[in-house]
Amino acid sequence: MRRIGFTGPSGFLGTQFQKSFEGKYDLLPLSVRYTDSKVNLEGVEAIIHFAGLAHQKERQNPEKYFQANYALTKSLADQAINQSVRQFIFISTVKVFGDAPSPLSLETEPKFESPDPYGESKLKAENYLNALNSDMGINIIRIPLVYGAGVKANMLNLIKLCDSIMPLPFAKIRNKRSLLYSKNLMAFLEYSIENMSIGTFHLSDMPAISTSELVRAIRTSLNRSPNLFALPVMIQWVIKKLQPHKFDKLFGNLELNVEASFKMLNYSNPYSFEEGVDEMTTWYLKQKNESID
């Protein structure tokens, strides 16, 4: 059985990875909380590096992002080389492009008009990995927001909102935002491990969807009426002026172009957006009912 190391075992993606491949691979959870953390990688063929610091609600010292996303990645990759690991898979993010306009392709140049320590620290980690001169294969996977059973944070809050009976102000939003079903990510990781994929790739569900489509799909899967209305243009303008970050999440585009990546690998996602939403809401309703009981 092939030995695969992975970081972030208690996080959403690490948990999904362990559930998906327990029994198929010999899984080794790795703890790399500090740059001087030493890991024993004896017999490990590949490492999946999930762990990192994502955007936080509370303002963080920018240095914390570079410590978690760059310095720890550098430390782990260096140890992997020294211990003859064959493949290093780095889970990166669409945020490495900063303020560059969508759609975002493999040729798109990052553009940070405003500071974004999360995206910049992930990009710095990518650049370090790509500059390594070793026999270890580097596989960088840029992903958007991941959803599925066990999801947390903003997506879980959106499900709870959709589960209410109140009308929601998400009609007629025609933006394009990429999402990724967790099982599609797991399938891509399995493909990458089995084929020793090397290079930088984009991964998301296809096609990108609008905020309106996402909310409508969640409500439908919850057996609720969509019950959506459109915000007046004036209110949208006020939100954009006072809360530009929130406005961008609701009305802005964030589309990851994956066609070139899929063509290079002769790969396609095995699961649909609808399957992902149904699994996510089924999990949510189960958790909700168990908490009531």
Q: Tell whether the model's pLDDT for residue 51 goes beyond 80.
A: yes
168-191 per-position pLDDT tens digit: 999 999 999 999 999 999 999 999
Give yes or no for a contact between 206 and 173, defined as CB atoms under 8 angstroms apart: no
Q: Which homologous superfamily is 3-211+247-292 in? A: NAD(P)-binding Rossmann-like Domain (3.40.50.720)
Domain boundaries, the chain: 3-211+247-292
60-94 per-position pLDDT tens digit: 788 999 999 999 999 999 999 999 999 999 999 99
246-293 per-position pLDDT tens digit: 888 889 999 999 999 999 999 999 999 999 999 999 999 999 888 776
Query: What is the signed CA dihedral for 145, 75, 88, 140, rounded to 10 degrees?
Result: 40
For position 56, what pLDDT does the model report?
Answer: 64
The structure tokens 């929130």 sit at 246
Distance CA 49, CA 88 (A): 8
DSSP one-letter code for 23: T
Q: Tell whether the model's pLDDT for residue 59 goes beyond 70.
A: no
202-252 per-position pLDDT tens digit: 999 999 999 999 999 999 999 999 999 999 999 999 998 998 888 888 899
Rounded alpha-carbon distances, angstroms, from residue 27 to 14, 51, 97, 109, 128: 11, 16, 32, 36, 26
**For residue 117, how many other CB atoms are within 10 A of its CB?**
20
Q: What pTM does this model have? A: 0.94
